[in-house]
Amino acid sequence: MLLDVLRSRRVLFVGGKGGVGKTSISSAIALARAREGARVLVVSTDPAHNLGHLWGAEVGDEPVRLATAAHGYVDGIEIDPRATVDRHLAAVHDAMRRILPERMHPHAKRHLELAREAPGSHEAAVLERVADTVELAREHYDLLVFDTAPSGHTLRLMALPRQLGDWTETLLANRDRSERFSSAMRGLASGRDSDPERSGDALIRQALLRRRGRFELLQRTVADPLATGFVIVSVAEPMPVAETLELSESLRRIGVDIAALVVNRRSPQDAGELLAARRRLEDRGLRALEDRLPGVPLAEVPLLGGDPRGEAAVAALADALP
Ligand SMILES: Nc1ncnc2c1ncn2[C@@H]1O[C@H](COP(=O)(O)OP(=O)(O)OP(=O)(O)O)[C@@H](O)[C@H]1O
Ligand SMILES: [Mg+2]
């Protein structure tokens, strides 16, 4: 049922409260789809990654193969915001050195060091990589699964493309103005255009335009309910249920389609009174979710025993998906 509902989507954002099973469910969905022949990329956007731990593999900023199935496979990435910020600042530094006179270089360098620690720079870097992977996946993967950070962080991330798009727009407009100004100044000073400076300007402009293109694609992708869906993972206990309802409300407000709700770690009925009592409590949570989220496909995944790490564990969870 869950897989049927998700089969038509090319991009899934998997989110929910901390520790409910986002990484496990993302990976299980990925493996199940790979078994059907899909090329799947799982991307962890959570700065506290646990994708590598789950698969027992070294996962980093570039795709690594986590599993191969009949015709499909699962690759994984853990986005490294610091590496992204470093790359970005190195490019800006390079462009600045071309544009600015030499005596200004130390000053520019100090400025960039400050920018590295500026609030929001990591979030923006993660978003930049999210936009990159959406672009990459269009050609190389059939399904892209984002294993996201606990709720608040993810929502800010999903609202960011528009803000950063506007900001890029402003930068481009400012560049147009300063480009006209500096070429007028150069004309006055030397009577002709100086090439290296122009190429610096052109580089920055090019980078900004590329970035605007990526954010536009991300924004279109996030807003397209046919291609993209949000999968909320929860457990059916009172607190996570309340948070799930809040999260679904916020997602609706920003126009993201909720593809499915996964109620994870359902207690068994026939394994002793303790678990049976837990299950009765979960039943109440489940009913609340059904009442408050009518029309959202709801999938229950059982509580599993055994070692939760390694490909076999992901496979067991994939088998347990309804
Ligand atoms: N269906 C299940 N049965 C048993 N254990 C499960 C199940 N799903 C997840 N777990 C276990 O629950 C714990 C949390 O799972 P997971 O790491 O996938 O959650 P998460 O939401 O990604 O956490 P975080 O918010 O810290 O990233 C892990 O120990 C995992 O093995
Ligand atoms: Mg996780």
Does ligand 1 lie within 6 Å of residue 301's CB atom? Answer: yes
**Closest residue to atom 19 of ligand 1, CA basis:** 21
Question: 195 C-alpha to center of ligand 1: Å?
Answer: 56
Q: Is the CB of 265 under 6 A from ligand 1?
A: yes
Residue 211: predicted pLDDT = 77
DSSP string, 62-79: S-EEEEE-SS-EEEEEE-
Q: Does ligand 1 lie within 6 Å of residue 263's CB atom?
A: no
Ligand 1 contact via 264 beta carbon (within 6 Å): yes
Which ligand 1 atom sits nearest the alpha carbon of residue 309?
Answer: 31
CA-to-CA separations, 278 to 233, 237, 243, 250, 265, in angstroms, rounded: 18, 9, 19, 29, 11
CA torsion through residues 53, 57, 59, 64, sign: negative
Residue 307, classed as helix, strand or coil, is coil
Q: Are 58 and 65 in contact (CB under 8 A)?
A: no
Q: Is the CB–ligand 1 distance for residue 46 below 6 Å? A: yes
**Rounded distance between C-alpha atoms, residue 41 and residue 30, angstroms:** 8
Ligand 1 atom with minimal separation from the 48 CA: 27
Has domain 2-81+127-155+228-320 been given CATH number 3.40.50.300? Answer: yes
Sheet holding 298-302, edge to edge: 64-68, 73-78, 39-44, 143-147, 11-15, 228-234, 258-266, 298-302
pLDDT of residue 191: 47
How far, in Å, is the centroid of ligand 2 from the Cα of 19? Answer: 7
Q: pLDDT value at position 193? A: 47
- Ligand 2 centroid to Cα of residue 14, in Å, is 10
Which ligand 1 atom lies nearest to the CA of residue 303? 3
Q: Check pocket membership of 47 for ligand 1, CB cut-off 6 A.
A: no
pLDDT (0 to 100) of residue 163: 64
**Which of ligand 1's atoms lies nearest the C-alpha of 308?**
31
For 148, residues 6+ apart whose C-beta sits below 8 A from its C-beta are: 13, 14, 15, 22, 45, 46, 154, 157
Ligand 1 pocket check for 243: Cβ under 6 Å: no
Average pLDDT for consecutive 10-residue bins of the chain (322 residues)? 93 94 97 97 90 96 94 95 84 78 84 79 81 92 92 68 66 67 60 52 74 81 87 95 93 87 97 96 97 96 92 96 96
Domain segments of the chain as ranges? 2-81+127-155+228-320, 87-121+167-219
| Pocket mutation for ligand 1, best pick of 2, 24, 49 (most atoms within 8 Å of C-beta) | 24
